[in-house]
Amino acid sequence: MSRPIGGTGTVTRVGTVLRAPKTAELIATHLRRQIVKGELKTGDTLPSEVHLMEQFGVSRPTLREAFRILEAESLIGVRRGSRGGARVLEPDPMVAARHVGLLLQLQGTTVQDVYEARMITEPACARMLAEKHTDQDITDLRAVLEDLRQIVDAGFEAVPDVATWSLASYRFHELIMQRCGNKTLAIQGAVLADIVDTHLRQALIKELGGNENMPARFRKMLRSYAKAIDLIEAGDADGAEKHWRKHMEVAAQYTFSRDDKNTPVIDLFG
């Protein structure tokens, strides 16, 4: 028995005109809620189109429009053909990152603005991680530190590979946010990852030109990362927060020139 869907959507305002949600949007909302609640889990296949058309009392074009909405949100993947169907996808933080990155660019957000936000949240995350870390957290942080050491050692007295260093370096920052125990801060770190990594790489390339002090600077950063791990492992919440704030303040002096601070986020991506 068909059960037409409708009458349950929220009226939205577009400019000065009130618009009721389209049927496809209502179906997408219904399926999205099932995914969020865990009624539909990652890897689950949705019922067939014929079944869903009958369930919602809609045509195939309307159902496929609902699917397109969910595909755009990367909640489902749809494969066409006789063996096709819609399948629930694993959540991807990069979907949010792309949207947030676009909003930051549209608002003319500067690189300094992004870094200031990180300087507020990351030291707090270091404190939280010191308070409730696991052995695995320490193991993973030390593994990243070892990767960074190998990158520096590979350069001997020259300069390490910038792209590899910046990627591993941000992984250390990312772990502090991911493992602090706060999911909101963890996602925020993932959302800003592309912006931060892109700027760090570009800033290092600019700084490297003819700077004979760079190898020593990389060694100093390694010591700072090692101290952060020791403080976190010791459960020194105050020390971990204070050290990580100082680390980021010093890093900002090296990473940002006067011009870099006012660089719009959009300029990082060409």
Residue pLDDT, tens place only, 112-133: 888 888 888 999 999 999 999 9
Indicate the pTM of the whole model. Answer: 0.70
Give pLDDT tens digits for 29-55: 999 999 989 999 999 999 999 999 999
Give the long-range contacts of residues 4-12, CB within 8 A, separation 24 or more: 4/56, 4/57, 4/58, 5/30, 5/56, 5/57, 5/58
CA dihedral 159, 161, 167, 168 (to 10 degrees): -70
Q: What's the CA gap between 94 and 105, in Å, rounded?
A: 16
Q: 77: Cβ–Cβ under 8 A, 6 or more apart, which residues?
A: 71, 86, 87, 89
Q: pLDDT per residue over 192-221, tens digit each? A: 766 666 666 666 666 554 455 567 788 899
Show the tokens assigned to 121: 């949240």
Give pLDDT, residue 270: 47
Return the sign of the alpha-carbon dihedral for residues 36, 78, 186, 232. Answer: positive
